[in-house]
Amino acid sequence: MGFLDNLMGGGAPAGGNNAYTVPIPFIPQNLQQLQQMPFAALTNEFEVAALTVAVLCNYCPNPQATIEMLNYLRGPRPLSPMEVQFLRDRLAGKPWKMVSYLNGTSPQNNYVPVQPLSITVMTTPYSYQNQDMATLFIPSSGADSPRQLDLRRKPSTGQWFVWGTDGLMPDVRIPQNQDPWA
């Protein structure tokens, strides 16, 4: 049981807009580090959403390790070659994009997060429309509205797995130190 289960009584929130801040002890750099993180059991959808962002923050320095970690978070449905190419197209050369989801970042501070690291994960009244599916939203400091992340629960284990990350991939404002017009 994750720390959010204690706050929420062990289940998904009843409808409405809710926001939960998930602490992230560090950005994992490989599968072994990910598996040692407090939420690696994948039993809470908010923690899995935050882990997904943390894992994606590692893409620019190490794409292959990030793909291995994402496959762990995807469970029985690993990334296809087309999805790997999509990640490369969206993230290569833009290390600030995923970091923009960490609390305390902004284009003005060049997306430097505050310590300790944390990620806010939000629900809407429509987050739990389908059984064993969750559509959660994560604010980016470089975007005007929160971005979507889809998760699927495996009933036999109670684990939540990443179903779709495309909603996290649109561009964000570039950091001030990269902006020729700043």
| All residues at 6 or more sequence positions from 81 whose CB lies less than 8 Å from its CB, including other chains | none
Predicted confidence (pLDDT) at residue 85 exceeds the cutoff of 80: yes
**Domain around 46:** 3-178
Instruction: Summarize pLDDT for 12-32 with one digit per residue, the tens.
Output: 445 678 999 999 999 999 999
Instruction: Summarize pLDDT for 47-82 with one digit per residue, the tens.
Output: 999 999 999 999 999 999 999 999 999 999 999 999
| pLDDT at residue 15 in the model | 62
> Which residues are paired to 128 by β-bridges?
none
| All residues at 6 or more sequence positions from 51 whose CB lies less than 8 Å from its CB, including other chains | 24, 34, 37, 39, 40, 42, 73
- The number of folded domains in the chain is 1
